[in-house]
Amino acid sequence: MSATGQARALTPPEISQRKGKAPLICLTAYTTPIAKLVDPHCDVVLVGDSVGMVLHGLATTLGVTLDMMIMHGQAVRRGLERALMVVDMPFGSYEESSEQAFRNAARLMAETGCAAVKLEGGEAMAGTIRFLTARGVPVMAHVGLTPQAVNAFGGYRVQGRGEDRERIRRDASAVAEAGAFAVVLEKVPEPLARRITEEIAIPTIGIGASSACDGQILVVDDMLGLFGDFRPKFVKRYAELGDAASAAIATYAQEVRERRFPAAEHVFGDMPKAVRGEKTA
């Protein structure tokens, strides 16, 4: 609680200090109503560039722009009180240089009110992470399957099997040493995620990784069953809200066709009760 008695948002150092303690609860959010729903339960709320696929119908995250991230970040900010808000840096907004990354991260923070940004990449991004953190920009890193590199990977494949496991270990160590306060491990083998969690000093947040990670994250639309038939192995459906919504819409359509909606209680008379001399209470 703050001095005024109101809820105070968690900070990147507080998240970092949760290493090895109670698991971090993380979900995505892209709108104010969803942010309000997840805030009481989450430590971290990520405005992910997955918004491009989930809400905008894009085939990948590559078409997401900085302006899109700012718009959704502003919406989520209005719905949060407690959770740490992190905003993804979209493809093309940070890879060119550390200076480019700083300009765009500073804009994200200034225009959305987020407390941290997330960027993808391991050893190749360590210098950028070091540059940003030295200038007051907290960074959450992301290694393993990095969706912005989907074309380079040849699809959304598990990363870190066989000889590739050492690359993922080096990536995780590099971002931790560069100053990231936490790192997302996406779609890597369970034993590898467990080992990385033991080896590095910052919290690991798993998605398709291991229960041994210091926290877990899912796309909220996936776990609520809102996103069609998309059912990756690492997602547990905690509800089937898409089916419920579809059934409700079908019922509405039927009632309109049958002229059962709107009913008398949903329409207005030609004059208010008070004008007709009737009691209004």
In a domain, 18, yes or no: yes
274 within domain boundaries: no
In this predicted structure, the answer to whether residue 17 has a pLDDT above a threshold of 60 is yes
Please check if 19 is assigned to a binding site: no
Average pLDDT over residues 149-154: 90
Q: Is residue 279 part of a domain?
A: no
pLDDT at position 227, please? 74
Rounded CA separation 115/100 (Å) = 19
Specify the length of the chain in residues. Answer: 281
Rounded to an integer, the average pLDDT of 70-85 is 98
Predicted local distance difference test score (pLDDT) of residue 152: 87
35 pLDDT higher than 70 = yes
Q: Is residue 21 part of a domain?
A: yes
- pLDDT bin (cut points 50, 70, 90) of residue 275 is low
Say if residue 74's pLDDT is above 70: yes
Average pLDDT over residues 72-85: 98
Q: Is 270 annotated as a binding residue?
A: no
**pTM score of the predicted model:** 0.93
Asked if residue 217 has pLDDT above 50, the reply is yes
pLDDT tens by residue, 83-132:
999 999 999 999 999 999 999 999 999 999 999 999 999 999 999 999 99
Report the candidate in 132, 107, 110 with the shortest Cα–Cα distance to residue 119: 132
Q: Domain range spanning residue 200?
A: 12-239
Residue 88 marked in a binding site: yes
154 is a domain residue: yes
Shortest CA distance to 208 belongs to which of 268, 266, 145, 149?
145
User: So what's the pLDDT on residue 4?
Assistant: 45
Query: Is residue 123 flagged as an active site residue?
Result: no
Kindly name the residue from 14, 111, 123, 186 that is annotated as catalytic.
Answer: 186
What is the share, in percent, of the chain residues with pLDDT greater than 90? 88
Pull the structure tokens for residue 116: 């941290």
Residue 92 covered by a domain: yes
Calculate the average pLDDT of the chain. Answer: 94
Only one residue has tokens 């089916």, namely 243
Residue 275 maps to a domain: no
For the record, the structure tokens of 25 come out as 């609860």
164 labeled part of a ligand binding site? no
Q: Give the CA distances from residue 211 to residues 181, 192, 205, 218, 270, in Å, rounded to whole numbers and listed in that order.
A: 20, 12, 10, 13, 62
* CATH number of the CATH domain containing 183: 3.20.20.60
Give the pLDDT of residue 52.
97
Res 231: pLDDT: 80
In a domain, 128, yes or no: yes
Token pair, residue 236, equals 């547990």
Number of structural domains found in the chain:
1
Place of tokens 């990670």: 213
